[in-house]
């Protein structure tokens, strides 16, 4: 029974998912539990007939046939589902995997592996999560391009944000670790840090502020550097500024934006480990991957997988990817 399935290692996957039916039963159980809602948006059916193969279902209301993959990023793929599950495992357990490597690991063509990676990354970013809150730190980083200038140099005070011919700006918002202290005063992380990343057209106020306001709960502590695009956010947040321009790493009130620097470093290392550098068009998906890996770093693969399944209803078509 799918309820009792436990898996942790890549070897477990082979054992608990010996065939297509086992994969589908697990996906269906994680998506819908014991219910059978019709996955087609225009139908409110809540019952289905399950075919003998244990995979296909027929909605008793609209009579359409579907499977546990219908309406997900795995739909319309002829690949065995175990290859998708293995691919997700490999994506989450490496610092970044190239389509060349994934193709070799799964025994599929590189183009197929690239398509799978795109869909999986899209799926990782499809979280229905709440706003960040508490202590939130903001920063931008710049990806691509040849020149190695630190991004601080690219910022010009009081300008409307710049366009970057060869670099793509990414805005990061991080809710920092929340601690409690034991009787000896030793800090214990009660809520691990959590990050959201957004590829933006530029780093001007008009590009950044709507994202901040949509993703950070009003009333939170919000720390940024002195970049002018953040001016005006103090109407909604306890806005703390760390003046990097003056060599400051912590302001007088003790606020720092260091937490996100380590995360950017990991992102850069991951991108450098991928053979073909992501283009601006695909960069957001890579950051979905980096953010997911960071946010769920303390969970085992099964829990990570269950999060992906519960958020899986996004479907990326090949033609949208290459258009
Ligand atoms: Zn239906």
Same domain, 220 and 192: yes
Distance in Å, CA 50 to ligand 1 centroid: 13
User: Within a domain: residue 289?
Assistant: no
Residue 106's nearest CA partner among 96, 119, 118, 91 is: 91
Of 102-111, 242-251, 314-323, give the lowest mean pLDDT range.
Answer: 314-323
Q: How far is CA 29 from CA 51, 69, 108, 304, in A?
A: 16, 12, 28, 15
Q: Which tokens sit at 116?
A: 């799978």
Distance in Å, CA 307 to ligand 1 centroid: 25
Same domain, 116 and 229: no
Answer yes or no: are the C-beta atoms of 223 and 246 closer than 8 Å: no
Number of domains present in the structure of the chain: 2
Distance in Å, CA 48 to ligand 1 centroid: 8
Convert the pLDDT of each residue in 56-91 to its tens digit.
Answer: 999 999 999 999 999 888 986 789 999 999 999 999
| β 57-59/48-50 pair status | antiparallel
**What mean pLDDT is predicted for residues 111-118?**
93
For 216, phi then psi, to 5°, come to: -120, 130
Distance in Å, CA 59 to ligand 1 centroid: 5
3-state secondary structure of 186: coil
Distance in Å, CA 65 to ligand 1 centroid: 8
Distance CA 274, CA 290 (A): 13
Q: Which tokens sit at 165?
A: 């011919």
Same domain, 117 and 50: yes
What range does the domain containing 249 cover?
135-277
User: Within a domain: residue 82?
Assistant: yes
CA 147 to chain centre: 27
3-state secondary structure of 283: helix
Distance in Å, CA 238 to ligand 1 centroid: 49
3-state secondary structure of 59: strand
User: Within a domain: residue 210?
Assistant: yes
Average predicted confidence (pLDDT) for the chain = 86
Same domain, 109 and 27: yes
- pLDDT value at 155 more than 50: no
Same domain, 165 and 101: no
Distance in Å, CA 49 to ligand 1 centroid: 11
Convert the pLDDT of each residue in 166-182 to its tens digit.
Answer: 788 999 999 999 888 98
Listed in sequence order, the residues at least 6 apart from 214 whose beta carbon sits closer than 8 Å to its beta carbon are 131
Supply the pTM of this predicted model: 0.86
Sheet with strand 168-175: strands edge to edge: 194-199, 168-175, 135-143, 221-225, 238-242
Distance in Å, CA 75 to ligand 1 centroid: 17
Same domain, 221 and 304: no
Distance CA 169, CA 162 (A): 10
User: If pLDDT is split at 50, 70 and 90, which confidence band does 319 have?
Assistant: low
User: Within a domain: residue 291?
Assistant: no
Distance in Å, CA 64 to ligand 1 centroid: 6
Distance in Å, CA 71 to ligand 1 centroid: 12
């Amino acid at each position: 029974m799918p309820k009792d399935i436990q898996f942790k290692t890549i070897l477990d996957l082979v054992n608990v998912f010996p065939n297509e039916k086992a994969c589908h039963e697990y996906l269906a159980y994680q998506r819908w539990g014991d219910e059978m809602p019709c996955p087609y948006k225009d139908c409110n059916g809540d019952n289905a007939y399950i075919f003998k193969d244990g995979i296909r279902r027929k909605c008793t209301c609209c009579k359409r046939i579907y499977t546990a993959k219908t309406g997900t990023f795995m739909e319309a793929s002829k690949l065995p589902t175990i290859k998708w599950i293995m691919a997700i495992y490999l994506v989450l357990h490496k610092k970044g995997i190239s389509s060349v490597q994934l193709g070799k690991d799964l025994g599929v063509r590189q183009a197929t592996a690239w398509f799978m990676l795109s869909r999986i990354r899209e799926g990782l970013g499809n979280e229905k999560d709440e706003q960040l809150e508490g202590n939130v730190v903001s920063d931008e980083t710049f990806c691509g391009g040849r020149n190695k200038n630190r991004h601080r140099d690219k910022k010009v005070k009081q300008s409307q944000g710049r366009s970057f011919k060869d670099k793509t700006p990414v805005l990061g918002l991080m809710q920092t670790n929340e601690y409690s202290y034991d009787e000896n005063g030793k800090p214990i992380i009660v809520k691990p840090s959590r990050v959201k990343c957004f590829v933006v057209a530029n780093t001007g106020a008009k590009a950044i502020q709507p994202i901040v306001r949509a993703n950070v709960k009003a009333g939170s502590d919000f720390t940024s550097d002195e970049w002018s695009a953040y001016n005006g956010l103090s109407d909604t947040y306890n806005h703390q500024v760390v003046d990097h321009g003056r060599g400051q790493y912590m302001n007088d009130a003790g606020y720092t934006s260091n937490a996100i620097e380590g995360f950017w470093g990991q992102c850069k290392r991951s991108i450098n480990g991928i053979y073909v550098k992501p283009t601006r068009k695909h960069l957001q998906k890579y950051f979905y991957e980096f953010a997911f890996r960071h946010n769920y770093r303390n969970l085992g693969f099964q829990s990570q997988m269950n999060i992906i399944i519960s958020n899986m209803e996004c479907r990326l078509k090949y033609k949208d990817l290459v258009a």
